[in-house]
Amino acid sequence: MAKNTIGSLFFLAFSIFYFINVFSIKKMPGGHFEVMTASTFPYYIGLGGIIISTMILIFSFIEKDEEILSLSYLKTLDFKTTIYFVGAMMFYGFTIRSLGFIIATIIFLLIGFVLLKERNIKRILLISVGVSVGFYLILNNVLGVYIEPGMIADYFVGDES
């Protein structure tokens, strides 16, 4: 399928979804007296989105020299590692509060290095621990940004709160 066809279908679907949701924007009492309400601007850009993506879609069928999203290109992409990375990022978001900054960051970086096939264990540990602890110290002591170190750090240093 042509790249433009795929793109236009995606943006058309998004624009339609957006346009439908414009009608669920609440109206202020007496809003019909206003020259412009909260839904006026979204209404027109939603409409604009539908029109432009439909135009791209039509042109993608008319044009013969459209660039195709080939299966051979897709086969070269490493979806597995990327999906694992997306999972690691979600996991990081999930653990940064519960485990704390230092532990969550060490785990995230460890996973990242391993996923990208870094095999030098010493280097992996040194960088992940060094970056997490170093960045934590810079944040707290230089930039004055307090960020919870987490339970393990609390265990060693003691909970100051």
Count of residues that interact with another protein, criterion CB under 8 A: 66
Q: Where are the alpha helices (DSSP H) in 23-120?
A: 40-62, 71-76, 79-98, 101-115
Q: Is 113 in the site for another protein (CB under 8 A)?
A: yes
Cα 9 from Cα 5, distance rounded (Å): 6
Looking up tokens 């485990």 gives 99
For residue 72, the minimal CB distance to another protein (Å) is 14
Backbone angles phi, psi at 84, to 5 degrees: -60, -40
Residue 135 burial class via C-beta count within 10 angstroms: exposed 0-12, middle 13-18, buried 19 and up:
middle
When asked if residue 96 is in the footprint of another protein (CB under 8 A), the reply is yes
Query: Under 8 Å CB-to-CB from 97, ≥6 apart: which residues?
Result: 148
**What are the residues facing 68 on neighbouring strands?**
2
Q: Select from 13, 89, 151, 152 the one that contacts another protein (CB under 8 A).
A: 89
What's at 124, amino acid-wise?
A: I
Min dist CB 26 to another protein, Å, is 5
153 is a contact residue toward another protein (CB under 8 A)? no
Single residue of 23, 61, 116, 137 touching another protein by CB under 8 A: 116
Which residues are near another protein by CB under 8 A? 3-4, 6-8, 10-11, 14-15, 18, 21, 25-26, 28, 31, 35-39, 41-42, 45-46, 48-49, 52-53, 55-56, 59, 67, 69, 76-79, 81-82, 85-86, 89-90, 92-94, 96-97, 105, 108-109, 112-113, 115-118, 123, 127, 131, 135, 139, 143-145, 147
